[in-house]
Chain A
């Protein structure tokens, strides 16, 4: 009788120990991983006290754009843009530039790798993908768009933090100075920074081959 009681007590004790251990394992489990979400702050808007009329709160101009691009500005000729890059291409001129397919107008371009583009990749603290690049698009010899294209690879399967950094950086500029648009094209993330004065060219997006 006494032996049975001891056995039952031991079973209870063992059960309690197991329970405590499993609870301990539960407590020791890491908290679920939280992911930060970047909020893109747009230029603030000022309203009158009756909230009938609105205008931009800040007065921004081309210098706000050049502060981010290392001097590159809409309207510059291909030679001038090339000259402002960290590694200019020798002898680059309008006649050497290939034509962009997605535009009906005579639009030409050249591109550089995003890595090592100095000010143009400013604000990026995460991986970008080794093959990511920036395209400069010109019409009538003048720059009207910079197009960032982020391509994931084995070392950087998700460059979205870099995309967000570039998008947030240019979105802080008023849209009458530079219009910044973010979209996806297959696996490529695109951030276009376009001259708002380029009118009919504004809405044309990049289409990857075969899409």
Chain B
């Protein structure tokens, strides 16, 4: 229920009540108690309405949904991390709130130039919380030695992420070394670009055919 019509009607009634209260003072017309109670109730109702948010009706003509959809999305850094015990690859999206006065470039809010290590650690922790063996969580961009030593040290944090100010999709491409997926990560403007980038990186780095691949949008849906 909008408070606006209530306030408007109360103002009108207040005027009417003012006139009535003048008549109330005349002794030759004793007022019944019921009428007095009604007047009191109306006065209270008016006070309540005046206490309502006064600026409630501002910008009522502006459709909020249209306004929101035109706003550029905040920077999102998406990491890929892998659990080597199951070959599950997780996408962890980090949305960074824009600084005051940040200007979008080509409809995209800029991402930070440098990413603190704690952000990467948080991405890794998102994996660690879901696996049986925490040591199984590594970044998804792996070195050529990874098959021999499937450990975090043989993975690259900065190549395992894509940023929304320069890419729309993140991709991963892998080859199978026994049960283990050996993967690399790529970024691109389209799904195909990201997949190609990941596959080329994987085939160059690993010197293998990287036939297993997947992609995901960098921005959260």
Contacts and interface: CB of A to CB of B under 8 A. Distances in A.
Given A39-B215, A47-B119, A179-B129, A184 B85 contact: yes
Interface in A172-187: 175, 179-184
Contacts of B174: 37
Interface residues on A, range: 20 to 34
Nearest to A160: B87
A57 interface: yes
B122 A37 contact: no
A49 B99 contact: yes
A45 B89 contact: no
A32 interface: yes
Interface string B17-44: 0000000000000000000000000000
Nearest to A175: B129
Contacts of A175: 129-130
B220 A57 contact: yes
Interface in B78-126: 80, 83, 85-86, 88-100, 112, 115-116, 118-119, 122, 126
B131 interface: yes
Contacts of B88: 40, 164, 167, 182
A44 B220 contact: yes
25 contacts: A34-B212, A37-B89, A37-B174, A39-B214, A39-B215, A40-B90, A41-B91, A42-B92, A42-B93, A44-B92, A45-B93, A45-B122, A47-B96, A47-B97, A49-B97, A49-B98, A51-B96, A57-B93, A57-B95, A175-B130, A179-B129, A181-B132, A182-B83, A182-B88, A205-B132
Interface of B: 76, 80, 83, 85-86, 88-100, 112, 115-116, 118-119, 122, 126, 129-132, 172, 174, 181, 209, 211-216, 220
Interface of A: 32-42, 44-49, 51-52, 54, 57, 164, 167, 171, 175, 179-184, 205
